Structure 1
Amino acid sequence: MLLKIRDKASGWFAYAIIIMITIPFALWGVHEYFGGGARLVAAEVNGTEITTREFQREVQRQRDQMAQFFGGRLPDGVVDEQALREHALQSVIRRELVRQMVSERGFTISQQAVARELSGIEVFHQNGVFDPERYNRLLEAQRISRGAFEADVAQGLRLEQFEAGVRNSALVTDAEVREYLRLSNQERTLSYFVIPAEEYARDVNIDDEQVQAYYAQNEERFRTPERVRLSYVELDLDRLETELSVSESELRRHYRQELDRFTSPEERRAAHILVRVPRDADDAQVEALRTQARELRARIDEGDDFESVAREVSEDDFSAGDGGDLGYLQRGDLGSALDGVLFTMDEGEISQPVRTNEGFHILRLIEIQPAESEPFEAVRDEVEQEVRARQVESRQIELIEQMITQAYENPRSLAAVADATGLEIRETDWLTREEGEGIGEQDAVRQAAFSTQVLQEERNSDLLELADGRALVIRVKEHEPSTPRPVEEVEDRIRELIRAEESARLAREAGEALLQALREGEALSKVIQGLPGELEEGRTVTREDARVPNEILRTAFGLPAPEEGQQTAGGVSLEDGDYALLTLQSVQNVEPDQRELSSARSHLRGLYGALDFEAVLESLQAQADIKIHRDNL
């Protein structure tokens, strides 16, 4: 499996954003912006330090990414915590290696590119568009300068630029695409027979000595789970919102500040006559058409009806039949040249010919509908919702900042966190690494509770953000280590395990004894006579066939293709202890269509690009001076 250093969908740039800002605006390591606390170093890459906090942020980021695949919550037992932490360590090391390389090679990003990326970050949006005021307010609340933040954005884009250059340079030949599809789409016809292990369970006799021996050899499997009770401080957004009050004067002030949003812009109903100018017209033709437009304007001055002239001569096919009527228009609808004329005219006024890229226009202003603001009373609920949201956001940032700072500066107690925020210290019931109640249901909480920082070092946790918007700081109040359970307590379970293992062994031995006969050409139906189970004959399958156990599919597609009229045979133990015998009768290659060829080429380019990028990372890592401080992880 490739060791990827980031999720492709989010990219290097997204990583930079996640480092600085997370929804709902909780900051990782805000205290570092105040210069507080000693810097713990997780690793050094060519002399550049990677802090323990940066490493911890990456661990949490990867854990959150995995959780998204399961709807926001990781099922028990899915994550190998040690493997996750090692992967996160390699990620931050490799990211730093790439950062150093792009800096040395002079990769650059324009200010326009940075601006485009910033405008696409939804956390800075208000009503669906980028809001400079919100952007500045969020950065100021977090004590991050615009220059520093935008430099980080540019750095993230440089990293993406480099990676895209490597990945997009991958080449795939037609022969490779066809071979890939040949193997992917291949169909195989097989027969198989499953020998059920449970049929051998009655033949398994278990005495007390076997139970004692199994217990002694597998003592770690029969221990009480390690468990803890936690103290914690919790910031709950729903509760925070109910505690905030909004005055009438605040609502009216916000309404006045945002009045433009509650105002319908001025609209003007207009008509026009168009004398179209061809794109390739020379100066003489342009002047002739200008003269024609002036003559039309003169006809109107002399008494001809504007609508009649428009119907007669206007070259705008969409409006000529309606007497040139364009309907109601706002500023910007017609372009700057016509706007500049139309929005300075009086009702009933007719303009002189106006030149645009289309030709010469004669405008008539029919009616003005002035801008109109919705009264405060009509939008009061919307205004209150916005004010409350801003207050919650501001108060949340303030409280989270205090939680992070106080938890870090006073690592042996939550009292300082509670005093600074006004939040109460609560306690959980017992929870284990696999399960708990209340906040103990959350994987992130249990993982933090049993981390080195919280359990062994007896320090407060970092800020933990839950998928429902709550933010926590926890510490261990009480710890119960794992202890061996008495053999008498687990004896029944041990007998079940021994019986299952021995039954599987007997089923495997029975199958393997018959496998040689199959390899010598005996028919499967003849070899299995007298055995319990059901025979499946002549089934044609693909690699993804859900009707056949995966172990059988893998074995079938690993067997060599048989000669015509012959068979190849194999056997495999299944996950539940059963044993399968199978014979392969034929292999069919399926001719791909153009859509499949195109899709496979894109897939292989992505795969080869990832392999190329992995090779670059391995090369950089092999040449680098890297020191890992595992005591600080």
Structure 2
Amino acid sequence: MMDNLRAASNHVVLKILLALIILSFVLTGVGNYVIGGGDFAAKVNGDEISRAEMERAFSNERSRQQQMLGEQFSQLASNEGYMQQIRQQALSQLIDEKLLDQYASKLNLAISDDQIKQAIFSQPAFQTNGKFDNEKYNGLITSMGFTADQYAQALRKQLTTQQLIGAVANTDFMLKGEADNLIALVSQQRMVRQATIDVAKLAAQQSASDEEINNYYQQNKNNFMAPEQFRVSYIKLDAADMQETVSDADIQSWYDEHKADYGQPERKRYSIIQTKTEADANALLQQLKQGADFAQLAKTKSADPISARKGGDMGWLEPETTPDELKQAALTTKGQLSTAIKSSVGYLIVRLDDIQAEQVKPLSEVRDAVTAKVKQEKSVDAFYKLQQKVSDAASNDNASLVGAEQAAGVKAVETNWFSRDSLPEALNFKPVADAIFNGALIGQDSSPGNNSDIITVEGDRAFVLRVSEHKAETVKPLDEVKADIASTIKREKAQKQAKAQAEAIIAELKSGKQDAFDKAGLKFAAAQPLTRSGQDAISQAAFSLPQPEKGKSSYGISEDMQGNVVLMALDDVRAGSLPPAQVEQMVKGVTQNNAQIAFEALLDNLRKEAKIKYGAAAQMQ
């Protein structure tokens, strides 16, 4: 059927398995489970799931949820019911894994030690530069709470489960005839002629009485709501507007305090030779002391391929970037050699090649940058002082912004009317919007309330504002919406008339007559091909019509995007075609779906037949 079905199952079905495991507790309930005692999590057909396994699974699931939900998780974690649900999900996963292990054993599925080794060696997470790194492997499995034997056993179970999934998935296939029929159905084209009844033209002939308008208004008042409206006065402070002057003394003082920002610390240049054993390192040291060339020995003897290509040269290093092993050498003189130094990768011989003393750029070279920094700091300081001054003024005179205007030295700006959906661009910041819309600045009966506190935005801008006028949400008066209601009533009448007319015409066309069709002044346009992929109402309706008999048409009714009534004549159904890549993808999707169904059935059956007993550990919070 498909050459890569096994590979596909290892991706898609495993995802399905994870989803099924997470949902299995909810789906199966407790009908087949027995709650018992004992310091274990559960027994599945007599096989025990220990408290330790349960706690490790719970911890892993909790970490997964925390990584997935981010900040939301801290709120959910305080909910006892939510944490219990995570515990149940983790236990449900362990139970399903145990059921699959037992079924795999029943089928005599097994994974050899060589397969385990190959799986470990081929894992990219355990590799360095494309090669297996035993130190990295041990570090990672230890961080997951496994010993080497425990990890190998867990991996054996996983690979056995994959083998089981592959066996189930490979039982599904599609016959060529089934695939051909599916392709023909999906790619089918329908030749349809259309004739449109213009609803807008019919609406112009309709009338709407005062009584009809009033009744519609009373029944649909929620459709005529005027949103809550605001007018706001505000003062904006911007740090960028604070132009401060600086003196030479200011510049010199700032430079003296921040010299480290314009300096380069002492740098040293090292060369190394890396060996596997201390004996090898000492032998090379002896050669170096007898005059051997360091660079040549590094190229031919060093176990570090990167530095060896450069004759051992490590380049210039600052204190922060110097490895501990090189610091441990404690070399202070150019050309000085270390003894053999033990490292995480063997032993090192280190030579100090050069020293570059600490350097500081003179003020003359960095004056412009220092000046900009001083101006920025003085502007920010002035900005915060002005904020405090304006805030105090706004608080002392809470009935207007006059005092705040005097403190800020600028006039307040007043907006036009706006709603929650049309906040002026100048105020379009979340803290500002929250202050306006949370109701705290509105007095009784929509009267102006107090001034706001200082609202800081993005660190360098601030606002103080007051709601100068407010209108609560209300129903628009009938006179204001009367014309719109009349248009709606007329269009509804026109649509009803058009549909009735279309149904009468279609009934005649089906009987072989077209007097009503001609009398309505309608004409069918030329036939156009419609495909099943079309999302418009006419395409969807076309594929619901019965296939026409030879030499005849099938008829139906639909609507276009403008709400006009459309008469359809289906003249012919034609076979289409699909690109080979699309055909392959479609068959692959159907096969994978069938594999999912097969695996769901297997897991459901294993659950139903299992004898599962919960222990006390399963109930721990």
TM-score if structure 1 supplies the norm length?
0.49
Larger-Rg structure: 2
